[in-house]
């Protein structure tokens, strides 16, 4: 899906990914010391706003201007607009206004491996030494289980593919594993094997 496709999907008053922080982002990043974070492909901003409400400066980088307008409205509604920044750009070559950051988050950027490599490398390059990288995706294993969510195997990473991506970057891998997660569908929340990756920049 390109930026136009995403803009069309976001053109509704509903927050399609909700206004609630992703539970894995909260679990893995909730205890980090407050600083500046970059939320790559942050969409309508459920994660960025959650960080801003905790005192972080949060920059949401997404190529959907419609999503970012919703993010800005959401940040204003929660009275954290001054700690939020929207950057309309591709994950592959964005330059973050608030880099270097203490934390980089990528949540559900389900794109082919070559693009994911480039996006993660670009994000890691804009983190401070010692900063945290956290990513979360629907995993390839969902297809064999008949689970809902993205069905294109090319956009579904695995523990092995993420380990390979991070091994080529200046990071120390802390934890990469599959977890029992969920995917939001028109029929409600359904199970999804969810792969999470936590790393520290060297
Ligand atoms: C599944 S949504 C997840 C949004 C958000 N991270 C969340 O968890 O609510 C995927 C997001 O990736 C963005 N996206 C996809 N490809 C992108 C790219 N190449 N550059 C920037 N954003 C991209 C879309 O616009 C969309 O907002």
Spatial separation of the C-alpha atoms in residues 92 and 40, rounded to whole Å: 10
Coil, strand or helix at 139: coil
Of 175, 181, 177, 182, nearest in space to 195 by CA: 177
Each of the 202 residues of the chain gets a pLDDT tens digit; together they read 999 999 999 999 999 999 999 999 999 999 999 999 999 999 999 999 999 999 999 999 999 999 999 999 999 999 999 999 999 999 999 999 999 999 999 999 999 999 999 999 999 999 999 999 999 999 999 999 999 999 999 999 999 999 999 999 999 999 999 999 999 898 999 999 999 999 999 9
Spatial separation of the C-alpha atoms in residues 142 and 146, rounded to whole Å: 6
pLDDT value, residue 148: 96
Q: Tell me the whole-structure pTM to 2 decimals.
A: 0.98
Pocket of ligand 1 (CB under 6 A): 6, 17, 22, 41-43, 46-47, 62-64, 67, 90-92, 107-109, 111
- Nearest CA owner, ligand 1 atom 26: 43
Q: Where are the domains of the chain?
A: 3-201
Backbone phi, then psi, for 60, in 5-degree steps?
-100, 115
- Nearest CA owner, ligand 1 atom 4: 43
Q: Which of 14, 62, 117, 194 to mutate to test the pocket of ligand 1 (most atoms within 8 A of CB)?
A: 62
In words, the CATH class of domain 3-201 is alpha beta
Residues in the chain: 202
């Amino acid at each position: 899906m390109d930026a136009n496709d995403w803009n069309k999907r976001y053109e509704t008053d509903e927050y399609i990914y909700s206004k609630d922080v992703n539970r894995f982002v909260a679990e893995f990043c909730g205890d980090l010391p407050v600083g500046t974070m970059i939320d790559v492909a942050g969409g309508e901003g459920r994660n960025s706003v959650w960080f801003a409400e905790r005192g972080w400066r949060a920059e949401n980088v997404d190529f959907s201007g419609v999503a970012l307008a919703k993010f800005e409205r959401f940040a204003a509604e929660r009275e954290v607009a001054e700690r939020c920044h929207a950057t309309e750009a591709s994950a592959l070559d964005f330059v973050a206004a608030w880099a270097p950051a203490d934390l980089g988050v990528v949540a559900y950027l389900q794109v082919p491996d070559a693009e994911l490599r480039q996006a993660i490398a670009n994000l890691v390059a804009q983190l401070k030494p010692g900063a945290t990288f956290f990513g979360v995706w629907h995993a390839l294993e969902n297809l064999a289980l008949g689970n809902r969510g993205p069905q294109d195997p090319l956009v579904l990473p695995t523990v092995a593919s993420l380990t390979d991506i991070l091994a080529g970057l200046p990071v120390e891998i802390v934890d990469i594993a599959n977890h029992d997660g969920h995917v939001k569908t028109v029929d409600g929340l359904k199970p999804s094997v969810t792969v999470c990756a936590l790393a520290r920049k060297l």
